[in-house]
Amino acid sequence: MPTTPSAHNPEGSPVPDAESAGTGGTALLGRKAAKIDRLAELMGPRDEGTHGAGIWRTAFSRLRRSPMAITGAIIVAGFVVVALFAPLLAPYAPTAQTWGDEVFPNQNIFVGPRAENWLGLDNLGRDQFSRMVIGARQTLLVGVVATLVGFGVGALLGGTAGAAATLGGRWGRTIDNAIMRVIDMMLALPTLLLAVTVAALIGPSLTTVMLAVGIAQVPIFARLLRGAMISQGNRDYVLAARALGVRKHKIALTHILPNSLGPVIVQSTLTLATAIIDAAALSYLGLGNPDPSFPEWGTMLADAQRFLSSAPQLAVYPALAIIVTALGFTLLGEAMREALDPKLRK
């Protein structure tokens, strides 16, 4: 064999160790130095640079190049900014019937967009634009809280079931079975029906809508997290952690859970979109906030239906706003799913 026997060559050092060139003159040494320099030059740039790029960071850099993600992010950012700074952006008070004497719904007299009221007036002579802006705030609140409720309860149930199923042995499987049967029952109910039931139980209010929509999302999150945890639990690195002697609860929390959260986080952006639509639907059905001083897109849509033939614009604005916002969250969620998908990672 030509190479040095049993030479242990770490992979990190591509340049051969300078062997003792005892016999050679300076020419030989110079030649050797030249060839090593040349090799280093040809291989040069590859070893520097990237320093500890985690999965989230690489996913983020992929997100930045996706047109879908950028569109979604712009819509979502716009929506959030409007919602946060709503009182500053709204030119008028949303409840003030300042122009009440200009609108007569029973005579089909409405006021469309004009210089002082950008989106016109609603049926009670309130500024539609101000109501839309303030409504964004309510909608964001409903979406976020509902998603948080769904995420929190769902992740707790699903996480417990998933951890019990993967690491709990016989008892764990029983716990998992019990939790999942409950989840299955929840899943069997149509989302909207479930929400209507909750709303009917505790009466119409904003809290009702948020709770109802949130609870409807629980089984989705629970199933998703449990499935991800079980598939991660079968991976070799979990076995490796067990072989290392890591405690089970620590394996579940530091190994399985962080690796299973990807799909759940993607789902939560998608859920935000459906939560907004569901909340609008519930408000439309009259289960939302009965207090007119807090305009909400769903309620506005519901109110506008009475004047659909004479003033369709009153329905179009909130409907468009709901659609565009939901689209923004969906685009962002889909782009995140793609960025985090291991199959698309090289």
Q: Which of 88, 115, 188, 244 binds other proteins (CB under 8 A)?
A: 244
CB-nearer residue toward other proteins: 35 or 114: 35
CA 147, 149, 153, 156 torsion: positive or negative? positive
Name the one range near other proteins by CB under 8 A: 94-102, 186-194, 230-238, 333-341: 230-238
Which of 307, 338 has the CB closer to other proteins?
A: 338
Residue 169 and residue 201: Cα distance in Å, rounded? 39
Q: DSSP letter at 91?
A: S
With CB under 8 A as the rule, give the number of residues binding other proteins. 53
Min dist CB 32 to other proteins, Å, is 7
Structure tokens at 136: 């964004």
Q: Any bridge partners for residue 121, and if so which? A: 127
Tell me if 319 sits within 8 A of 277, measured CB to CB.
Answer: no
- What is the dihedral sign for C-alpha 194, 199, 200, 202? positive
User: Using the rule CB under 8 A, which residue among 53, 77, 193, 202 binds other proteins?
Assistant: 53
Q: How many CB atoms lie within 10 A of CB 109?
A: 11
First to last CA, the chain: 37
Nearer to other proteins, 19 or 101 (CB): 19
CB 73 within 8 A of CB 339: no
Q: For the segment 9-48, give every residue that binds other proteins (CB under 8 A).
A: 9-16, 19, 21, 23-24, 27-28, 31-32, 34-35, 38-39, 42-43, 46
Looking up tokens 């962002």 gives 332
Place of tokens 């705030």: 137
127 pairs with which residues across the strands?
A: 121
Closer residue to other proteins (CB): 32 or 337:
32
With binding defined as CB under 8 A, does residue 54 bind other proteins? yes
Task: Confirm or reject binding of residue 7 to other proteins (CB under 8 A).
Answer: yes
Q: Give dist(CA 29, CA 346) in Å, integer.
A: 42
* Interface pattern 142-181 for other proteins (x via CB under 8 A): ----------------------------------------
Does 250 interact with other proteins (rule: CB under 8 A)?
yes
Q: For residues 50 and 106, which CB has a smaller minimum distance to other proteins in the complex? A: 50
Residues that bind other proteins (CB under 8 A): 1-16, 19, 21, 23-24, 27-28, 31-32, 34-35, 38-39, 42-43, 46, 50-55, 235-237, 239-247, 250, 255, 258-259
